[in-house]
Amino acid sequence: MRILPIHPEIEKYLKIRKLEKKFEKQINLFKENPFHPGLRTELLEPRKMKIWSFRIDRKYRALFIFLEKDVIEIIDVNDHYQ
């Protein structure tokens, strides 16, 4: 699995919230298996938009899209409960 470079604004968001280590751990897990149970990967509604998410921790999730079968782009990281 190939992940495109993270946008600087997303990196800034992770740094401000001290999520860099958790994010890196989850990204490594994602590279091994995008559907590992610990990631809780899911296709978001509306499904036709084809936006997926995986868990960074209990509060934060990363949103991503598949550009190709084995290439993704992280498009956002946000508070799951807002």
Domain ranges of the chain: 2-79
Mean pLDDT of the region 19-25: 97
To the question of pTM greater than 0.75 for the whole model, the response is yes
Positive or negative: CA dihedral 43, 44, 46, 50 = negative
Q: Please name the amino acid found at residue 7.
A: H
- 8's tokens: 């600087």
pLDDT value, residue 31: 93
Contact 68, 1 (CB under 8 A): no
Q: Quick one: what percent of the chain has pLDDT higher than 90?
A: 94
- CATH no., domain 2-79: 3.30.2310.20
Contact 76, 11 (CB under 8 A): no
**50-to-15, 40, 42, 47, 66 alpha-carbon distances in Å:** 27, 16, 10, 5, 8
Mean pLDDT of the region 9-33: 96
